[in-house]
Amino acid sequence: MIPACPLAALPRGEAFRLDTVEPPIAVFHTDDGELYAVDDTCTHQDASLADGWLEGCEVECPLHASRFDLRTGEVDAPPAKLPVRTHGVVVEDGTVYVVPSDLPPNLPPGARARTA
Amino acid sequence: MRSVAVIGASLAGLYAARALRDQGFDGTLTIVGSERHRPYDRPPLSKEFLAGRMTEADLALETDDEDLAAEWRLGVRASGLDPRDRRVLLADGTSIAADGVVVATGATARTLPGDSPTLEGVHTLRTLDDASALRADLVPGRRLVVIGAGFIGAEVASTACELGLGVTIVETAPAPLARALGGEMGTALGALHEERGVGLICGVAVQALTGGDRVDGVLLADGQRLDADVVLVGIGARPEIGWLEGSGVELGDGVLCDSGGGTSLPGVVAVGDCAAWFDPGLGRHHRVEHWTGAVQRPAAATATLLSGGSAPAPPQAPPYLWSDQYGMRIQFAGHTLPGDTVTVEEGDVAARSFLAVYRREDRPVAVLGVDQVRQFTRWRRRLATVNTG
Ligand code: FES
């Protein structure tokens, strides 16, 4: 379990990028109050999904608008072709923790780690 | 409608073929492509592919399990259209008659006027084969002259600089990207090159290329001569529509279409870089040479084709383009005209991370972001609502 951020620092509608892990992980707090974690890097090219547009349980990639379902990781619109890996999320004592998946990630070709 | 021929096998053609199948078309589908490749993603050609970080396989646009049940005719060019039975003539002498035709032949890179095409080392960049040839020529230590400081030219300059070539860009206009971004922001982006040691010469035209078998220099109109081992001509593209001349399909700067993609000939629609759709917002035909235009419009065009009428215009999302240069992510959405005011709303131009908003009579019309992906996404969304709502 990796501590990500205090829950208070992640209001609804916002995303947090956990970039102390490789590849980085994005944690989303939806407008309905659910928390989800997926790999931060889009499976199409090197874009940070935490910078994307959160709508319901989906995030739209900030570069070419593929949408990923945060519950399953499935992509429902091209150009991304592969699902994004999902991770578990736990809240304990006001802190958001990520339970990393042990499946292999679907990183885009030539992804560089962007840690801005 | 029992048969449709999609002429053009790049992004727009593929999306049109997908849209036809999604919309229930189950007849004969033929896809004709002038290149020998299956549909591939073009934007990385001047970036990751050129730098060697992506392979040809990485560029594929089709998924492994995708089956459009189409007949693919690759490596053959369309040479004409006979309107009587909507017959597409192909350069190999064969032809395809179809109930419906989707024109998606894209654009071709412009070359220098009077340019001697036989000089080795002179490139344009549009296709995968162009990119492979350029990549083989970008040997560290060589001198590259890029003619034209548009997005393709700037990206190639950035990639070549990263690969260890000496690079100079020559631009006829007083600032790079002045028409797309306005002079002020064009100048700001131009500075990115100079910071990296890439030469930028603006306001001077190219007179001639020099060399024997291989190019060895670029002669400028002011008398300057630049040494060059490799030259990239990046001065834009023209729509690939010559094959439609005499067919009755109305042509202008592109295939002239209504706001649903229909052309002047029934049963023929056009999408992608070759198509100039009527834009109700602008009140004129307008060619959208961007990836997002190629993605959003095909579904409307195929609906027009299958219904036999004109499908409603797709929602007017502002045109959007992006560019990666020197590790920076540049994004632009909207339309700007001379006279728009530009204000930096986030970050700082000097720090190379900023967001600038273009306004016309206080109404936001465009937004430019440099390494401001999150804020840019918000603004792009906002522009879409401002301009449709
Ligand atoms: S980078 Fe995400 S869709 Fe292209």
Helix and strand tally (H, E) in chain B? 9, 27
Asked if pLDDT for residue A43 goes beyond 50, the answer is yes
pLDDT tens string for chain B (389 positions)?
Answer: 999 999 999 999 999 999 999 999 999 999 999 999 999 999 999 999 999 999 999 899 888 888 999 999 999 999 999 999 999 999 999 999 999 999 999 999 999 887 556 799 999 999 999 999 999 999 999 999 999 999 999 999 999 999 999 999 999 999 999 888 998 999 999 999 999 999 999 999 999 999 999 999 999 999 999 999 999 999 999 999 999 999 999 999 999 999 999 999 999 999 999 999 998 877 899 887 776 667 778 999 999 999 987 777 776 678 888 999 999 999 999 989 889 999 999 999 999 999 999 999 999 999 999 999 999 999 998 887 765 43
B3-108+238-307 shares its CATH topology with B327-388 = no
Query: Residue B141 CA to chain centroid, in angstroms?
Result: 29
Q: Is A79 in the pocket of ligand 1 (CB under 6 A)?
A: yes
pLDDT of residue B134: 98
Contacts of B389 (CB under 8 A, 6+ apart): none
DSSP string, B261-299: SB-SSTTEEE-GGGEEEEETTTTEEEE--SHHHHHHSHH
CA of A94 to the centre of ligand 1 (A): 33
Q: Of B55, B98, B49, B60, which Cα lies nearest the Cα of B78?
A: B98
Residue boundaries of the structural domains of chain B: 3-108+238-307, 111-235, 327-388
DSSP for residue A19? -
CB contact under 8 A, B44 and A48: no
In the beta sheet, which residues pair with residue A89?
Answer: A98
Query: What token pair was written down for B282?
Result: 């602008």
| CA B305 – CA B5 distance, rounded (Å) | 11
* Residue A114 clears pLDDT 60, i.e. is over it: no
Residue A53 with chain B: CB contacts under 8 Å: 377-378, 381
Closest CA to B90 of B78, B75, B73: B78
Res A112: pLDDT:
45
Are the beta carbons of B208 and B120 closer than 8 angstroms? no
Closest atom of ligand 1 to CA, residue A66: 3
Q: How many CB atoms lie within 10 A of CB B103?
A: 36
Top residue of B45, B320, B377, B382 to mutate, by most chain A CBs within 10 Å, is B377
Is the pLDDT score of A6 beyond 50? yes
CATH of domain B3-108+238-307: 3.50.50.60
Q: Is B326 in CB contact (< 8 Å) with chain A?
A: no
Q: Which of B149, B106, B114, B160 is nearest to B294 (CA)?
A: B106
* Residue B247 burial (CB count, 10 A): 23
- CA B191, CA B186: separation in Å to the nearest integer? 9
Residue B5's nearest CA partner among B300, B305, B311, B308 is B305
Contact A62 B55 (CB under 8 A): no
In single-letter form, the type of residue at position B217 comes to: G
A53–B377 C-beta distance less than 8 A: yes
| Cα-based torsion angle of the residue sequence B373, B319, A41, A59 in order, rounded to the nearest 10 degrees | 90
Instruction: State residue B387's pLDDT score.
Output: 57
Is there a contact between B53 and A110 if contact means CB atoms under 8 Å apart? yes
What's the pLDDT tens digit per position in A49-90?
999 999 999 999 999 889 999 999 999 877 888 999 999 999
Give residue B47's pLDDT: 93
Q: What is the CA radius of gyration of chain B?
A: 22
Q: Which CATH superfamily is domain B327-388 in?
A: FAD/NAD-linked reductase, C-terminal dimerisation domain (3.30.390.30)
Which of A28, A41, A44, A81 is most worth mutating to test chain B (most B CB atoms within 10 A of its CB)?
Answer: A81
- What is the bridge-based pairing of β-strands B328-334 and B251-252? unpaired
**pLDDT at site A110:** 67
List all residues of chain A from 3 to 42 with a beta carbon under 8 Å from chain B: none
B68 close contact with A: CB closer than 8 A: no
Give the CA radius of gyration of chain A. Answer: 13
B236 Cα–ligand 1 center, Å: 25
- Nearest CB to A110; choose among B48, B377, B378: B48
Contacts of A49 in chain B (CB under 8 A): none
CA angle B175-B370-A52, nearest 5°? 145
Domains defined for chain A, CATH in brackets: 2-99 (2.102.10.10)
Q: Select from B302, B299, B334 the least CA-distant residue to B314.
A: B299
Both structure tokens of A47: 């874009």
Dist CA B54 CA B58 (whole Å): 6
* Contact status of A59 with chain B (Cβ, < 8 Å): no
Tell me whether A74 touches chain B (CB under 8 Å). Answer: no
Residue B66 has a pLDDT of 87
Instruction: Check residue A113 and give its pLDDT.
Output: 40
Rounded to 5 degrees, what angle do the CA atoms B331, B328, B318 make?
5
The pairing of beta strand B143-147 with beta strand A14-18: unpaired
Q: Which parts of B112-196 fold into alpha helices (H)?
A: 128-137, 151-163, 178-181, 183-195
The CATH class, in words, for B111-235 is: alpha beta
Predicted TM-score (pTM) of this structure: 0.91
> Residue A5: CB partners within 8 Å, gap ≥ 6?
A16, A18, A27, A95, A96
Q: Give the position, in ligand 1's atom list, of the atom nearest the Cα of A61.
A: 2
Q: How many helices (H) and strands (E) in chain A?
A: 0, 9
Q: B315 preceded by cis ω (within 30°)?
A: no
Cβ of A63 closer than 6 Å to ligand 1, yes or no, is: yes
